[in-house]
Structure 1
């Protein structure tokens, strides 16, 4: 069960405000808890506190920042089941997926703790021409300053962690706006951070309305904006962010290719079912477009549809549940409309397609025309499209025929095809022998085209949150 109410965190301190945000149990629809809601005045105070704290945070030794991150790891492990249940309730995430996310949260903070003492510079040879004789150089990384973070509803713990943990590792104060539908996970992280001796103002975690959140984007005291969410919102924020660097982790409609030399089709089917339908398909790297070589298509289709039909849909607290509710009725209605549109345009429904409130069955279609929204947009729900191909190069072109470019998965053993896919696919990452939905938390993660700009993954986020500072020394005796 969740607590009766949760505070926001302003300059490291819990604040129970009068204006509350209702957080619902996404399966029952009942109000599960209430959360303190910050207004523009509070956000301004948080930014001022972050600005004031940056010198003290910068002066913390790397081992001190590492100790704080390790404290978080310990406390996450101690509160593992509590955090998993909170995720299950506030996000409607099946309990097995919720436990998986808590495990990834721990991994993310553990990697950040390791990287906190590894942030190095480099000594440079500057004697590349006669005029540089006697000059040597070196550079180091310094914290960029106060950071603004906006995290999404689908991974309320780990995608907030991918902003918080690297910021702590490099010594950047931050203000975080968690998704209003799923703020509890971030607030529990705040509760644990409040147990540490971070300088006052080092962090604020503030659920708030969109109207009150403009300062997260426009305030010049914030030196970096990192946003994870929808493309429309992300690109608008970037346009209004001013001079500060912006990192955007946005949407996708990820494709997966099953080539003719795939020798373990059962394994490919199991992985693609997971990639398409885990946590009800609400993942930006969820498998949406499945392309199977014509020599394997009929067998793949028959076995895939049978297994999809057997997926258990229901209460996410049930250990056997694979498909839980979508985040809201409106999101389920949107995706159901796209499924209906795909059929009206000539697509054939192979499995699922039925809706019950926010619950939507795992759905598979084929013969969906290229211009259908289910093909061109991000489904962000339990729906996938099957198609066949005869030519590998044509399949690569089909993957690229998208405004998105986050990750792609390919089942093949041909090293030349692997190399060609890596060279030609317009995506941030290519995964061989598995689905594009696979991610481990230290790898560079991000996309191209409408899928965003910049990379997460602890070391890579730390680079974004730091600036290079050069030192040049002249030896006049040389």
Structure 2
């Protein structure tokens, strides 16, 4: 059994069964056999009914699921409840999108060669899906990876993060309770070598990965020929705050975007480029807001920033901030470990552009503010890294907003909102080394199907 602990006090809270390669191989064999036997495929209304029943079970257990997210992942209860609500909504999105899984008519009379023929396409499940997930949204990420597979009719095996497997195993159990046979969806907790064998097995048609870039790109290079994949890694999200920005609105938004889940979000606000005329006011406002955040055990109602997922991550964040301090950055607040598992929300002013925290995803409670005079120079610095995901601009100038939108390297630019904004139906994609493919439930369901054409000669 694999033991799970609360990341704040490191006390055991549960366990999940481990699976060796022989077990995983058996699950893959059954999943592949289900896919190859078309008589076993579930009809759209059957898939929709299972997802609907599972959604209703989740609604009934909302409080329990939220507490579990907080308890195993360290996400404050107020945010954990939002995560569960999003997961429930994600189930509804999957049900709705089943009706959108349709093909198109292909015009055949455009040349003499095609004349006399009728053609159209339909969509079919791609095959066995294997998903590997991350710790920071232990229920909603699983819903994003598993529910689309169920909705499209793909058998699925999912490996949750080793720190946060309880929510995943419970979600799979809820699907079974809702009527999905066990061989259609399995949660597994294998060791690293068995995990890699599972991902790269030739029976796998689609690989869904959420986690670090090094692991994701490495696994992609080892996929079996023909396997498709979607990779979601992280970024070092940039924000432009120009001289016209409304700081009364920008400060709380940036504070939420930077310190939500203690910064352990792939599009968390990390680099804020503020015009020199307002940088001092913005920095003072964010410093005051960060100092006011309550740090503690995520299962407590008044906690606003929980622990980092592991003590070694606290040590890493501390090292990065000390390096920035030694390099000339001003530490406006925080800058210290509060315990072995928590770090104080930290605001840094003008760390060196080549500091580790300026160039790498911190995944911790730290926001860097940089002063600029030339917006194009700020955008160039924002674009200087090998990662690109979501970005933002705070401005009351439409021209400034459009200039930032056109010139920032990003798959999405938020105007007067923080970089971590997301709805579960919008496209969500990392560029450069930040990912491959497009997430978001409708887009994932599209990726998990193939378009198949029939051509009839009259």
Q: Structure 1 length normalisation: TM-score?
A: 0.92
1:38 equivalent to 2:15? Answer no
* Residue aligning to 1:144: 126
* Residue aligning to 2:390: 407
1:365 equivalent to 2:348? Answer yes
Aligned length: 455
- Give 1:216 deviation, angstroms: 2.3
**Cα contact 1:326–1:381 (8 A) shared by 2:** yes
* Residue aligning to 1:242: 224
Q: Structure 1 residue aligned with 2:69, among 87, 93, 104?
A: 87
- Give 1:41 deviation, angstroms: 0.8
Q: Which moved more, 1:47-56 or 1:167-176?
A: 47-56
In structure 2, do the counterparts of structure 1 residues 390 and 127 end up closer, same or farther at CA, with 3 Å as the change threshold? Answer: farther
* Residue aligning to 1:230: 212
Q: Distance in 2 between matches of 1:218 and 1:191?
A: 25
Q: Structure 2 residue aligned with 1:384, among 340, 364, 367?
A: 367
Q: Which moved more, 1:410-419 or 1:141-150?
A: 410-419
* Residue aligning to 1:211: 193
* Residue aligning to 1:113: 95
Q: Distance in 2 between matches of 1:452 and 1:123?
A: 33
Q: Distance in 1 between matches of 2:248 and 2:94?
A: 36
Q: Structure 2 residue aligned with 1:447, among 412, 430, 435?
A: 430
Q: Structure 1 residue aligned with 2:404, among 398, 414, 421?
A: 421
Per-residue CA deviations over 1:276-314 (Å, capped at 9, x if unaligned) read 001111001110001112222121111111111111111
Q: Structure 2 length normalisation: TM-score?
A: 0.96
In structure 2, do the counterparts of structure 1 residues 127 and 58 end up closer, same or farther at CA, with 3 Å as the change threshold? Answer: farther
Q: Distance in 1 between matches of 2:285 and 2:88?
A: 36
Runs of 4+ in 1 over 4 A off after TM superposition: none
Unaligned runs of 5+ residues in structure 1 are 1-19
- Give 1:59 deviation, angstroms: 3.1
Q: Structure 2 residue aligned with 1:434, among 397, 417, 429?
A: 417
**Cα contact 1:94–1:319 (8 A) shared by 2:** yes
Q: Distance in 2 between matches of 1:319 and 1:466?
A: 42
* Residue aligning to 1:184: 166
Match of 1:22, SS state, is strand
Match of 2:391, SS state, is strand
Q: Distance in 1 between matches of 2:260 and 2:131?
A: 26
Per-residue CA deviations over 1:224-282 (Å, capped at 9, x if unaligned) read 111000011111101111221121000111111112222x3111100100000011110
**Cα contact 2:394–2:417 (8 A) shared by 1:** yes
**Cα contact 1:406–1:447 (8 A) shared by 2:** yes
- Give 1:190 deviation, angstroms: 1.3
Q: Which moved more, 1:104-113 or 1:393-402?
A: 393-402
In structure 2, do the counterparts of structure 1 residues 57 and 448 end up closer, same or farther at CA, with 3 Å as the change threshold? Answer: farther
Q: Distance in 1 between matches of 2:315 and 2:371?
A: 29
Q: Distance in 2 between matches of 1:59 and 1:176?
A: 20
Q: Structure 2 residue aligned with 1:133, among 82, 103, 115?
A: 115
Q: Structure 2 residue aligned with 1:273, among 255, 262, 276?
A: 255
Root-mean-square deviation (CA, aligned residues, Å) is 1.4
- Give 1:103 deviation, angstroms: 1.0
* Residue aligning to 1:24: 5
Q: Distance in 2 between matches of 1:451 and 1:441?
A: 19
Q: Distance in 1 between matches of 2:307 and 2:204?
A: 36
Q: Distance in 1 between matches of 2:103 and 2:406?
A: 30
1:456 equivalent to 2:439? Answer yes
Q: Distance in 1 between matches of 2:39 and 2:77?
A: 37
Q: Distance in 2 between matches of 1:128 and 1:58?
A: 39
**Cα contact 2:286–2:347 (8 A) shared by 1:** no
Q: Distance in 1 between matches of 2:248 and 2:448?
A: 43
1:253 equivalent to 2:236? Answer yes
Match of 1:322, SS state, is coil
- Give 1:124 deviation, angstroms: 1.7
Q: Which moved more, 1:226-235 or 1:193-202?
A: 193-202
In structure 2, do the counterparts of structure 1 residues 84 and 330 end up closer, same or farther at CA, with 3 Å as the change threshold? Answer: same
**Cα contact 2:430–2:436 (8 A) shared by 1:** yes
1:341 equivalent to 2:320? Answer no
Match of 1:71, SS state, is helix
**Cα contact 2:391–2:414 (8 A) shared by 1:** yes
- Give 1:340 deviation, angstroms: 0.7
Q: Which moved more, 1:195-204 or 1:431-440?
A: 195-204
**Cα contact 2:236–2:359 (8 A) shared by 1:** yes
1:154 equivalent to 2:136? Answer yes
Match of 2:220, SS state, is helix
* Residue aligning to 2:48: 66
Unaligned runs of 5+ residues in structure 2 are none
- Give 1:137 deviation, angstroms: 2.1
Q: Distance in 2 between matches of 1:78 and 1:40?
A: 35
